[in-house]
């Protein structure tokens, strides 16, 4: 039973490989039925960091990027807390990207904000 199931899957894979173009066309037809055209890609693609990095700055993709940055900063902050020698302090990047709030990094941030003002 299991063997024939596997054989069927293999046959389907071979079929898909041989008729790749037809399958792609069928896929496009299905997309068109859903109202998705090449100009309007599936919504699932949005709200991802890779989409944001490929140039889409729609609200969904921006929030995906923001969530990634927030999570990265959180992880970096945990690493830095475990080993404060990991990054030099008194730097803006340590404050923003590593979430460090030591007196030196806070001062660097204050200096930066005053310079920008």
Return the bridge partners of 37, or none. 40
Asked if 56 touches Zn ion (CB under 5 A), the answer is: yes
Write each residue from 30 to 49 as x if it is in contact with Zn ion (CB under 5 A), else as -, in one continuous string: ----------------x---
Stretch that binds Zn ion, among 23-31, 34-42, 85-93, 109-117 (CB under 5 A): 85-93
Please, what is the Cα angle at 105 between 100 and 107, to 5 degrees? 145
Nearer to Zn ion, 15 or 58 (CB): 58
CA distance 103 to 3: 66
Phi-psi map region of 47: left, alpha, beta (phi>0 left; psi -120 to 50 alpha): left
Residues that bind Zn ion (CB under 5 A): 46, 51, 56, 58, 61, 89, 100, 102, 105
């Amino acid at each position: 039973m299991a063997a024939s199931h596997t054989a069927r899957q293999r046959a389907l894979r071979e079929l898909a490989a041989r008729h790749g173009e037809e399958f792609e066309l069928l896929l496009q037809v299905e997309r068109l039925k859903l109202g998705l055209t090449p100009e309007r890609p599936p919504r699932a693609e949005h709200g991802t960091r890779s989409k944001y990095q490929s140039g889409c700055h729609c609200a969904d993709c921006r929030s995906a990027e923001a969530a990634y940055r927030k999570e990265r900063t959180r992880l970096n902050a945990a690493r830095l807390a475990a080993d404060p020698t990991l990054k030099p302090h008194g730097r803006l990047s340590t404050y923003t990207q590593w979430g460090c709030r030591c007196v030196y990094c806070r001062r660097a941030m204050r200096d930066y904000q005053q310079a920008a003002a």
